[in-house]
Structure 1
């Protein structure tokens, strides 16, 4: 067991970018510090219109480094759950990468795909969007 742990720590890049422990459960119900990133139908490419939401979220995240970020890609169940969820996941990854490129530490970002039917916040055309939620600070983190 120790040998496996040692190898994992020595393997390039494996120990880097380990996510902080936090959950995005309930993130879709929050209303403060929420940013929308629209996408064209069927596409996972970021467009210029996405820039303002990403830059605003990145600025807030950098100003308040004790807060984590949930990036929620929204899938539309009516389009086929599997392919739509995969598209939502690719969109969420694209947005999380863009946040990282703007200086937000990768271990503070969690990207997830969500199915619209289970999210009260997002309706059509929200299924073609990603929501960035800068999570409230955990009580012990806010005291630091």
Structure 2
């Protein structure tokens, strides 16, 4: 029994500590006007282009300066294609932005990525482009 407890203790001590999940959600984030960054994508693509990578780098630099800031990444669905397909593309785009933020040093537990329908769709100047919106939440 004692050997089993010692073995269990070794396993627990050897395992990496699980990251503390930061409790927050993105409800109402589309209402915020300050510190909103549009990340453009080409039609039917979930690959970040040069303009998108630049926008994500800007957001990453801002949040690295303030470690308490949390980020909502909102992928926007294009209503001109089927709702299911559009929502899937929006989710893939949001995930691509969240992964790029992590690559740039933003802790994953500071980011929530979601697909949205309709919100912010007019924020991208180019009519054929679609966007993900990065919303930097205010400090609590």
Any unmatched runs of 5+ in structure 2? 1-11
**1:1-144 map, 5 Å:** 16=18, 19-116=21-118, 119=119, 121-123=120-122, 125=127, 128-138=130-140
Task: Measure how far apart 1:78 and its partner are.
Answer: 3.2
Change (3 A) 1:78 1:53: same
Pairs aligned (count): 125
Which digits, 9 at most, give the CA deviation of each residue in 1:66-93, with x for residues without a partner? 1100000000233111010000000000
Instruction: Supply the distance in 2 between the matched residues of 1:109 and 1:130 (Cα, whole angstroms).
Output: 13
Equivalent in the alignment of 2:3: none
Q: For residue 129 of structure 1, give the secondary structure of its aligned residue in structure 2.
A: strand
Instruction: Supply the distance in 1 between the matched residues of 2:68 and 2:88 (Cα, whole angstroms).
Output: 30
Task: Measure how far apart 1:19 and its partner are.
Answer: 3.8
Change (3 A) 1:126 1:19: farther
Task: Measure how far apart 1:17 and its partner are.
Answer: 5.3
Runs of 4+ displaced beyond 2 Å:
15-19, 121-127
Aligned alpha-carbon RMSD (Å):
2.3
How high is the TM-score relative to the length of structure 2? 0.80
Instruction: Supply the distance in 1 between the matched residues of 2:131 and 2:19 (Cα, whole angstroms).
Output: 26
Q: For residue 46 of structure 2, give the secondary structure of its aligned residue in structure 1.
A: coil
Q: Is the 8 A contact 2:73 2:133 kept in 1?
A: yes
Any unmatched runs of 5+ in structure 1? 1-9, 139-144
Instruction: Supply the distance in 2 between the matched residues of 1:96 and 1:103 (Cα, whole angstroms).
Output: 11
Instruction: Supply the distance in 2 between the matched residues of 1:107 and 1:39 (Cα, whole angstroms).
Output: 24
How high is the TM-score relative to the length of structure 1? 0.78
Q: Is the 8 A contact 1:93 1:111 kept in 2?
A: yes
